């Protein structure tokens, strides 16, 4: 009996590990066979012998990662120095394309990527995870320093966030206090926005706005002192309608919007919507034109949406051991070094709670911003409806 | 084969009959081309139609979990054509696409025609420089012209950083001049007018001026001569130009994305792109099919006006002496004005690119800021995310190699297919099969590039009986290149083969020279100039083509144009500009080399009877 | 090699180019297909060559069927052992004269010095030696013509087909080339099928002529017979040199040939049933007398068209106009009265309706 009990407990734990998501349907036999062979998923050991993993990775010779971040490719040198014999191949595709690529490849039976390192939680969860195209892996020794929501069902490296940026040259302090301020006529022609029709994360962002109808309606009453009279299905749509009435400029990527919002020669206030917080690092980059922009940190009902940026191992990854190595490398060390280093910047917050914050003077503690954390299920549920509304109403 | 004995059985006779048909190389060739076209054109088109009419696995989001994937449904058509989305999803983009196409057609014909007339038929000054510069914009990737436009015209008045004109003159261009239809039309017009110039100058050169002179002798005024004689004769060339401008501009993605999106000016190409990116591929296909239907109507009208063949043939015949109009004291002034215009639209964007690529810090135009960092720098942490200079990134060299071999291989395959189609069309007239081949080969012209890429993506991503999973392979890029450029190659092939008398081949067949040798020894040498020109056009188009490949390139198979666009995307402006300059240099060098090789290999072609 | 054509028919849509033609080309003969443009003669030639496929019928070469619609046989041109010289010559412009001739030989496995020798021989045959290195565009029309012939005879075909080969040459060169062709035929002894619309060429060169019109063969005979005894009005007219006189005549009960209001002939005329006929008389079959003679009809000189040794007179009587040729010179002036008689055995009578020859 005493031999069965630990097994039982382990089994229960394993079930629990998967159950909260409740969601990944039964793993097909051939995928299960692969997981077993790669020591992944339910077969991941409770303690990794990293020396052995490295040796196996060296035999594999390479690790391939699809990433949304331009900060990943430059890590090549360090990674290859740390793990000689393992080539580091990073393809920076952006979130939507990374997910799209992986899905297409998996469906075509092409197994190219080892790790997908990107956000887009709702899409990754529904399109990839639930179809057994990606699997979570957390270095066992880090389980204690990574909160559960960053481990299950999918593994996150850090929190990213989207919100509102303003031009600090034209107005040193945030020119707005509430989302509803953006619907005021004075902002007509001064808004820039990443186009939700092209940028998947922006679509998530506006979907979350629609999903927050209740607090939005309350906030409207607070700001304007009267009840919101709905001309659209809910207060979230009403907010979007008000913003659209101010004719924002649309950009395909936040990289295009930032120079407009942070134009150092701007004489009038400018606002950027659905801007990525981690872009705050570009603000200081002289190569990018000495941009003058900063994030709105306090806003009612919330200043922005934070969401986990994921990194998980692809089904039938050709280099599973190297993939594990890369995941551990991305988690970095306790000082926030290694693969975490480029992500320890203002606007990013590591999933590891033991990593001390950056000594960057611009660092904003997560608690200082009233974020709303992304609700992937809600977003997934109403997204097409929001998108339809958007298509029908933007002209 | 030589001698066959009579047989009574009808079935055997029928088999023999079929067998005999297939023995003729033309029949074999027709069968082969039918298969190729079915594979390259018909199958993808069929896949699009079926995809748009069935439930896809991602559609649970629209219709709940109960749908059966693969089952017939009109849902996507209904959403696009008859719902609250219709107006913004298809009607407006379609109207704008057609507006843009119309504007581009006008610019390409008028500017191209005026330049052609000046260079071919007048004694305008600086002819050589004009002729050279007039081709340059086509070599530039179209989005670079769009970016140059923004650099020049954007201003704070439209909520953008100061552009050059505001900086220098304090002038704020109105919004319609910065974003939307007008700048898209102008940028695309600048990009495609070399087409008009090349076609129309060719037509004018070949135009026998004795035809006009006889009109003069009969006392017609210059205007009457122009409208009654010259225009009708070069009309096929004009219609060819219009068709090309139309076909190319409906499928272009980069320029409308840069100049249109900020003002919510969606055209069909950007609409297809965005629908594809947001999980609405089926709706994207419906939009693409609708555009193709409209394009087909346009092509049909074109054919009706001139007849299939004429509309793709340049005026040929032995051109007599050219009648040169003396511009008198306007000679130099006109030349200078034209030169100034060309420098502004052709050289300026290129120089802007070169300069920008040499700026250490973006936006600082001082001489002290010049640096080769973005070309050969090793990459500095914290600057451009530590991205090294374009020449230091081994991926860029791979991309270059991929682009070059894709362009040359694609060009060669297209050229050969074009000559074969041309051969059939010119030799076997009146056959239904051949007419079918000819018409199907023009179909890709109707399919917007971006949709064409998306179609191939859907067809070859999964793999099936006839379509192996080619996604992520070089072969797929080659296939899509050949498929898309085929109409242009077929056009060139037909007009080349039409000019070769069929008796030249018959003489060889009488001498028992087998078909493949006839093609290799007689037909190919005689059509080699056309083949080479066709190959080079496809090469240039492929090198700087973005729309076709943007959805097909994979991390492993990069191309120069998509790589340059990627630099733009992530905001590495100087790197993007440096790489674009590199792209232009590669195009010019390879084109020069091919021409040189041709000359060295002694392409000695005498007058073709 | 003997060529037999049986019931050959070729249609282009609704137009029948060759209509149920049956012909036999003698081995070693020089047969000409003569007719106006569009008569189907070139189509015939191209069907014999195998470049065109007939809708029905059969072609045999030395009893071997090379085409048969019934038996589903169509031997490709290269295996019919024939050569074809095109009207346009169809020289390959990107190849030298040598290369043009050598290509067909090389195909037959001739290599090296043998190849050079046979190209040289072919060129010597057409008297063009030393031109091997030239390109077609560097040759005159006559020279191109000879290269086209040399290219075909170099491979020593059993049959040589020629499609209006002389039509692009000037008059003098044409005469010269006629001699060359005749000599070539004599020297090589191969079967020649020749297509032309020029009756002089046909009469000069051929051993047999097939006169064609509207896809049918109207007469197939030796040149002399065709000339002396045309089978139809059309043949008579087409083989005329330079013209044929046609007269609407009536034969009376007594066998007198009369032309109402002009003349009456008796004597040597053939015994015909009474009725209306078309009478054809060649200019050289008329006799001209300055004085009245029995049987001669008075005419008035309209114009004297004499050139060199031949004297042609155009004479009129009322509405009737005749062209006559005299062997000896007669001194005449315009409007002078002359007397014309016809040589009886050379009068051709055709049915006024069908144009068929009428025999006695």
The domain that holds C323 is classified in CATH as: 2.40.50.140
Position C92 pLDDT exceeds 90: no
**Residue A388, token pair as written in the block:** 């339809």
Q: Residue C271: is the preceding peptide bond cis (ω within 30°)? A: no
Chain B nearest-CA distance from A6, in A, is 39
d(CA B324, CA A208): 69
Cα B14 from Cα B36, distance rounded (Å): 26
CA dist C283 and C305 (Å) reads 12
Question: Which residue of chain B is at minimal alpha-carbon distance from A104?
Answer: B461
CA C124 from chain centre, in angstroms, equals 28
Beta-carbon separation of A74 and B386 below 8 A? yes
Q: Quick one: pLDDT at residue A24?
A: 59
- Same-domain pairing of C148 and C271: no
Q: Which of A7-16, B167-176, B366-375, B463-472 has the lowest mean pLDDT?
A: A7-16
Does the beta carbon of C320 lie under 8 angstroms from any beta carbon of chain B?
no
Q: Which of B9, B501, B510, B524 to mutate to test the interface with C (most CBs of C within 10 A)?
A: B510
Q: How far apart are the first and last CA of chain B?
A: 33
Question: Which of A206-220, B13-27, B474-488, C129-143 shows the lowest per-residue confidence on average (mean pLDDT)?
Answer: B13-27
Q: Which helix (H) or strand (E) holds B197?
A: helix B181-206
Pair (C161, C289) in one structural domain = no
Task: Kindly determine whether residue C92 and residue B506, on different chains, have CB atoms separated by under 8 Å.
Answer: no
CA distance to partner chain B, nearest, from residue A259 (Å): 7
The most confident of B160-164, B503-507, C191-195, by mean pLDDT: C191-195
Please name each of the domains of chain A with its CATH number: 4-159+307-365 (3.40.190.10), 161-306+370-393 (3.40.190.10)
| DSSP H helices in B428-501 | 432-446, 449-462, 474-498
- Do C293 and C156 reside in the same domain of the chain? no
Query: Are C287 and C223 members of one domain?
Result: no
Q: pLDDT at residue B261 above 70?
A: yes
Decide: helix, strand or coil at residue B72: strand
Where on the phi/psi map is residue A109: left (φ > 0), alpha (ψ -120 to 50), or beta? left
Confidence at B463, pLDDT banded by 50, 70, 90: low
Same domain, C129 and C202: yes
Helix axis angle, C141-153 relative to C112-125, nearest 10°? 130
Q: Is C7 on the interface with B (CB under 8 A)?
A: no
Residue C358, domain member (yes or no): no
Chain B contact for A1 (CB, 8 A cutoff): no
CA distances from C227 to B131, B546, C196, C232 (A): 65, 75, 16, 11
Residue A284 pLDDT > 80, yes or no?
no
Task: Output the six-digit token pair for B594.
Answer: 């091919």
Is residue C238 situated within a structural domain?
A: no
> Which contacts qualify for A173-176: CB closer than 8 Å, 24 or more apart?
A174/A296, A174/A297, A174/A298, A174/A299, A175/A269, A175/A271, A176/A271, A176/A296, A176/A299
Residues C251 and C172 in one domain: no
Mean pLDDT over C50-57 rounds to 90
Q: What are the CB-based long-range contacts (under 8 Å, 24+) for A109-113?
A: A109/B463, A109/B469, A110/B469, A110/B471, A110/B472, A111/A314, A111/A315, A111/A316, A111/A317, A111/A318, A112/A64, A112/A318, A112/B472, A112/B554, A112/B555, A112/B556, A113/A64, A113/A65, A113/A66, A113/A314, A113/A317
Q: How far apart are CA B565 and CA C82, in angstroms?
A: 62
Q: Is C356 domain-assigned? A: no
**CB-based touch C/A (3+ pairs, under 8 A):** no
Structure confidence at residue B501 (pLDDT)? 82
pLDDT at B310 over 50: no
| C274 in contact with B, Cβ within 8 Å | no
Q: Which of B318, B507, B508, B606 to mutate to test the interface with C (most CBs of C within 10 A)?
A: B507
Instruction: Examine the domain organization and report whether C88 and C167 are in the same domain.
Output: yes
Please tell me whether residues C53 and C162 are part of one structural domain. Answer: yes
Claim to verify: residue C217 and residue C328 sit in the same structural domain: no
| Burial (0-12, 13-18, 19+ Cβ within 10 Å), A106 | buried
Both C94 and C211 in one domain: the answer is: yes
Q: Does B61 contact A384 at a Cβ distance shorter than 8 Å? A: yes
Chain B with chain C: Cβ pairs closer than 8 A: 103
Count CB-CB contacts under 10 A for residue B599: 9
* Mutate which: B75, B281, B385, B459, vs A, most A CBs within 10 A: B385
pLDDT of residue A52: 94
CATH of the domain at C122: 3.40.50.300
Total residues found in chain A within this entry: 395
Task: State the smallest CA–CA distance between residue C87 and chain B in angstroms.
Answer: 9
> Could you tell me which residues are beta bridge partners of residue C209?
C32, C221
**Residues with Cβ within 8 Å of residue B64, at least 6 apart in sequence:** none
Start-end of H helices in C136-194: 141-153, 171-188
Tokens of A10: 């382990």
Say if B361 is an interface residue toward chain A (CB within 8 Å).
Answer: yes
Mean pLDDT over B84-106 rounds to 92
Q: Is B472 on the interface with A (CB under 8 A)?
A: yes
Q: Which of C202, C233, C264 is the last residue of a domain?
A: C233
Is the preceding peptide bond at B5 cis, omega within 30 degrees of 0? no
Out of C233, C265, C293, a domain closes at: C233
Distance CA A14, CA A35 (A): 15
Q: Is residue C360 part of a domain?
A: no
Residue B316 pLDDT > 50: no
User: Is the CB of B361 less than 8 angstroms away from the CB of A94?
Assistant: no
Residue B127, sorted as left (phi over 0), alpha (psi -120 to 50) or beta, turns out to be alpha
Q: What is the pLDDT of residue B412?
A: 92
**Of B219 and C132, which is predicted with more confidence?**
C132
- Does residue A3 register a pLDDT over 70? no
Q: Are residues C158 and C218 in the same domain?
A: yes
- CA B86 vs. chain centroid, Å, equals 29
Asked if the model's pLDDT at residue C281 lies above 60, the reply is: yes
| Residue of chain A with shortest Cα separation from B388 | A74
Residue C66 lies in a domain: yes
Alpha helices for chain A (secondary structure H): 4-18, 29-38, 50-60, 76-82, 95-108, 121-123, 200-211, 213-224, 235-245, 254-261, 320-331, 376-393
Q: Does any CB of chain A come closer than 8 Å to the CB of residue B123?
A: no
Subunits with at least 3 CB pairs below 8 A relative to chain B?
A: A, C
Q: CA-nearest residue of chain C to B607?
A: C93
Contact C76 B609 (CB under 8 A): no
Instruction: Summarize pLDDT for B416-438 with one digit per residue, the tens.
Output: 999 999 888 888 776 788 888 88
Looking at C200, C233, C266, which one is the last position of a domain? C233
Please report the sign of the dihedral spanned by the C-alpha atoms of residue C267, residue C272, residue C274, residue C280.
Answer: negative
Print the domain residue range for C223. 3-233
A391–B85 C-beta distance less than 8 A: yes
Chain B contacts of C77, Cβ < 8 Å? 506, 509-510, 512
Chain B residues within an 8 Å CB radius of C91: 507, 609
**C309 occurs within a structural domain:** yes
Contact A107 B461 (CB under 8 A): yes
Kindly indicate whether the ipTM for this predicted assembly is greater than 0.85, answering yes or no: no
Which residues of chain B does A318 touch, with a Cβ-Cβ cutoff of 8 Å? Answer: none
CA separation for the pair A386, B61 (Å, rounded) = 12
Tally the domains of chain C: 2
Query: Is the same domain home to C47 and C137?
Result: yes
């Amino acid at each position: 009996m005493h031999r069965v009990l630990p097994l039982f407990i382990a089994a229960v734990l394993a079930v629990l590990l998967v159950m909260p998501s409740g969601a990944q349907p039964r793993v097909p036999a051939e995928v299960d066979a692969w997981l077993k062979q790669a020591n992944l998923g339910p077969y991941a050991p409770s303690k990794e012998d990293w020396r052995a993993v490295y040796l196996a990775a060296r035999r594999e010779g390479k690790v391939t990662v699809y990433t949304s971040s331009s900060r990943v490719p430059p890590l090549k040198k360090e990674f290859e120095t740390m793990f000689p014999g393992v080539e580091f191949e990073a393809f920076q595709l952006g979130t939507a394309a990374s997910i799209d690529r992986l899905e297409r490849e998996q469906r075509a039976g092409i197994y190219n990527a080892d790790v997908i390192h990107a956000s887009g939680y709702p899409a990754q969860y529904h399109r990839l995870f639930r179809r057994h195209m990606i699997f979570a892996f957390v270095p066992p020794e880090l389980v204690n320093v990574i909160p559960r929501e960053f481990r299950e069902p999918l593994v996150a490296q850090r929190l990213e966030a989207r919100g509102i940026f303003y031009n600090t040259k034209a107005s040193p302090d945030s020119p707005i206090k509430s989302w509803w301020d953006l619907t005021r006529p004075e902002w007509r022609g001064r808004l820039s926005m990443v186009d939700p029709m092209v940028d998947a994360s922006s679509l998530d962002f506006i979907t979350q706005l629609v999903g927050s109808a209740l607090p939005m309606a309350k906030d409207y009453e607070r700001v304007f002192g009267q009840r919101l009279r709905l001309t659209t299905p809910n207060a979230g749509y009403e907010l979007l309608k008000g913003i659209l009435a101010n004719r924002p400029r649309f950009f395909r990527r936040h990289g295009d919007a930032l120079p407009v919002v942070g134009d150092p020669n701007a004489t009038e206030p400018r606002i950027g919507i659905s801007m990525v917080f981690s872009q705050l690092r570009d603000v200081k980059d002289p190569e990018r034109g000495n941009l003058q922009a900063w994030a709105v940190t306090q806003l009612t009902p919330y200043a922005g949406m934070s969401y986990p940026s994921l990194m998980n191992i692809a089904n039938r990854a050709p280099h599973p051991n190297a993939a594990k190595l890369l995941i551990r490398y991305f988690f970095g060390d306790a000082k926030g070094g290694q693969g975490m280093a480029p992500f320890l910047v203002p606007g990013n917050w590591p999933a590891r709670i033991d990593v001390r914050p950056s000594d960057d003077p611009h660092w904003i503690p997560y608690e200082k911003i009233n974020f709303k954390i992304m609700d992937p299920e809600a977003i997934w549920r109403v997204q097409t409806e929001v998108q339809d509304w958007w298509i029908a109403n933007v002209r | 084969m030589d001698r066959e004995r009579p047989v009574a059985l009808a079935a055997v006779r029928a088999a023999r009959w079929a067998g005999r048909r297939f023995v003729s190389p033309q029949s074999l060739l027709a069968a082969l081309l039918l298969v190729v076209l079915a594979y390259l054109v018909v199958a993808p088109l069929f896949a699009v139609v079926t995809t748009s009419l069935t439930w896809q696995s991602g559609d649970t989001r629209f219709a709940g979990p109960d749908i059966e994937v693969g089952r017939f449904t009109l849902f996507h058509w209904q959403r696009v054509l008859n719902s609250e989305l219709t107006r913004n999803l298809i009607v407006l983009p379609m109207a704008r696409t057609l507006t843009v196409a119309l504007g581009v057609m006008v610019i390409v014909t008028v500017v191209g025609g005026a330049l052609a007339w000046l260079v071919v038929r007048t004694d305008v000054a600086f002819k050589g420089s004009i002729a050279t510069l007039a081709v340059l914009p086509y070599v530039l990737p179209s989005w670079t012209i769009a970016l140059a436009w923004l650099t020049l015209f954007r201003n704070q008045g439209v909520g953008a950083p100061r552009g050059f004109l505001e900086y220098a003159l304090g002038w704020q261009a109105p919004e319609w001049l910065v974003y939307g239809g007008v700048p898209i039309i102008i940028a695309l017009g600048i990009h495609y007018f070399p087409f008009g110039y090349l076609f129309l100058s060719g037509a004018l050169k070949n135009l026998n001026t004795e035809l006009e002179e006889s009109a003069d002798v009969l006392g017609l005024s210059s205007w009457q001569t122009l409208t009654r004689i010259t225009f009708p004769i070069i009309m096929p060339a004009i219609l060819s130009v219009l068709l090309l401008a139309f076909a190319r501009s409906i499928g272009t993605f980069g320029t409308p994305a840069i100049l249109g999106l900020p003002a919510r000016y969606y055209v069909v190409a950007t609409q297809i792109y965005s629908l594809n990116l947001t999980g609405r591929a089926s709706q994207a296909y419906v939009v693409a099919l609708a555009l193709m239907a409209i394009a087909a109507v346009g092509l049909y009208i074109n054919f009706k006006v001139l007849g299939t063949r004429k509309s793709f043939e340049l005026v040929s015949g032995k051109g007599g002496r050219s009648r040169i109009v003396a511009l008198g004291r306007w000679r130099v002034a006109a030349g200078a004005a034209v030169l100034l215009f060309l420098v502004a639209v052709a050289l300026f964007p290129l120089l802007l690119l070169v300069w920008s690529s040499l700026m250490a810090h973006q936006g600082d135009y001082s001489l002290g800021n010049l640096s080769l960092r973005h070309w050969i720098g090793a990459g500095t942490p914290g600057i451009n995310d530590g991205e090294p200079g374009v020449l230091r990134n081994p991926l860029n060299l791979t991309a270059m190699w991929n682009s070059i071999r894709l362009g040359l291989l694609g060009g060669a395959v297209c050229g050969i297919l074009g000559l074969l189609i041309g051969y059939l069309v010119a030799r076997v007239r009146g056959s239904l099969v051949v007419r079918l081949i000819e018409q199907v080969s023009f179909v890709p012209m109707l399919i917007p590039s971006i949709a064409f890429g998306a179609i191939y993506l859907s067809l070859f991503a999964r793999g099936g009986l006839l379509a192996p999973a080619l996604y992520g392979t070089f072969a797929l890029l080659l296939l899509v290149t050949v498929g898309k450029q085929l109409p242009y190659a077929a056009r060139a092939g037909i007009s080349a083969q039409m000019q070769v008398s069929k008796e030249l081949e018959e003489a060889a067949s009488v001498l028992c020279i087998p078909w493949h040798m006839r093609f290799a020894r007689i037909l190919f040498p005689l059509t080699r100039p056309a083949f080479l020109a066709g190959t080079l056009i496809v090469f240039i188009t492929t090198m700087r083509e973005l729309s076709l490949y943007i959805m097909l390139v994979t991390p492993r198979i990069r191309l120069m144009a998509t790589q340059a666009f990627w630099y733009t995307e992530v905001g590495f402006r100087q790197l993007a500009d440096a790489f674009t300059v590199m792209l232009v240099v590669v195009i010019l060098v390879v084109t020069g080399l091919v021409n040189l090789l041709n000359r060295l290999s002694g392409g000695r072609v005498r007058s073709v009877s | 090699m003997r060529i037999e054509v049986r019931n050959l028919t070729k249609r282009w849509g609704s137009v029948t180019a060759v209509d149920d033609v049956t012909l036999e080309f003698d081995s070693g003969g020089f047969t000409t297909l003569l007719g106006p443009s569009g008569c189907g003669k070139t189509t015939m030639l191209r069907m014999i060559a195998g470049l065109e496929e007939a809708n029905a019928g059969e072609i045999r070469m030395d009893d071997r069927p090379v085409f048969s619609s019934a038996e589903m046989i169509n031997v490709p041109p290269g295996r019919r052992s024939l050569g074809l010289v095109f009207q346009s010559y169809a020289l390959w412009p990107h190849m030298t004269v040598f290369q043009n001739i050598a290509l067909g030989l090389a195909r037959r496995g001739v290599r090296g010095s043998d190849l050079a020798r046979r190209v040289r021989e072919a060129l010597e045959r057409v008297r063009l030696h030393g031109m091997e290195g030239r390109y077609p565009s560097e040759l005159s029309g006559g020279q191109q013509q000879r290269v086209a012939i040399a290219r075909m005879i170099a491979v020593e075909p059993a049959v040589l087909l020629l499609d209006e080969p002389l039509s692009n040459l000037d008059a003098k060169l044409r005469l010269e080339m006629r001699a060359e062709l005749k000599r070539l035929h004599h020297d090589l002894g191969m079967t020649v099928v020749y297509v032309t619309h020029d009756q002089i060429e046909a009469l000069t060169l051929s051993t047999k002529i097939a006169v064609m019109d509207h896809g049918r063969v109207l007469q197939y005979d030796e040149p002399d017979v065709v000339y002396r005894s045309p089978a139809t009005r059309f043949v008579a007219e087409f083989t005329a040199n330079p013209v044929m006189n046609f007269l609407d005549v009536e034969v009376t009960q007594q066998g007198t040939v009369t032309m109402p209001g002009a003349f009456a002939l008796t004597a040597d005329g053939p015994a015909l049933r009474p009725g209306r006929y078309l009478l054809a008389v060649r200019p050289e079959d008329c006799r001209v007398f300055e004085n009245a003679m029995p049987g001669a009809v008075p005419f008035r000189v309209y114009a004297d068209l004499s050139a060199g040794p031949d004297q042609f007179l155009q004479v009129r009587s009322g509405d009737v106009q005749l062209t006559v040729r005299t062997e000896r010179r007669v001194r005449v002036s315009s409007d002078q009265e002359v007397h014309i008689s016809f040589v009886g055995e050379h009068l051709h009578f055709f049915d006024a309706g069908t144009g068929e020859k009428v025999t006695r």
